[in-house]
Amino acid sequence: METTPLYDCIAEMLTSGTQSAAYYRAAAARAKALQAITTTPRLKQFLAEMVAQYERQAAEAKGRRRSVPEVNLC
């Protein structure tokens, strides 16, 4: 089955696991860019939900990073 770049982008967003805050911010930016060019109301709503989810995940990832103690390996 041949896929489109839009399909690939959405599939990646749906299947991503735990990543860094920067990853989730980038995913939110991609979803916002897709939302800007989308004409279907339902897809716009879906992408808005994805943006909100990625922004929450970015905040959580940032919090996880702060809670990890620094280790000096030298």
Tell me: the pLDDT tens digits for 25-74? 999 999 999 999 999 999 999 999 999 999 999 998 887 755 444 444 44
Quote the pTM value.
0.65
Structure tokens at 21: 């805050």
Q: What is the pLDDT of residue 51?
A: 95
Q: What is the end-to-end Cα distance of the chain in Å, rounded?
A: 51
Contact 58, 24 (CB under 8 A): yes
Of 62, 61, 54, nearest to 35 (Cα)? 54
Q: What is the pLDDT of residue 63?
A: 78
The structure tokens 């905040």 sit at 59
Q: In the chain, where are the structural domains located?
A: 5-65
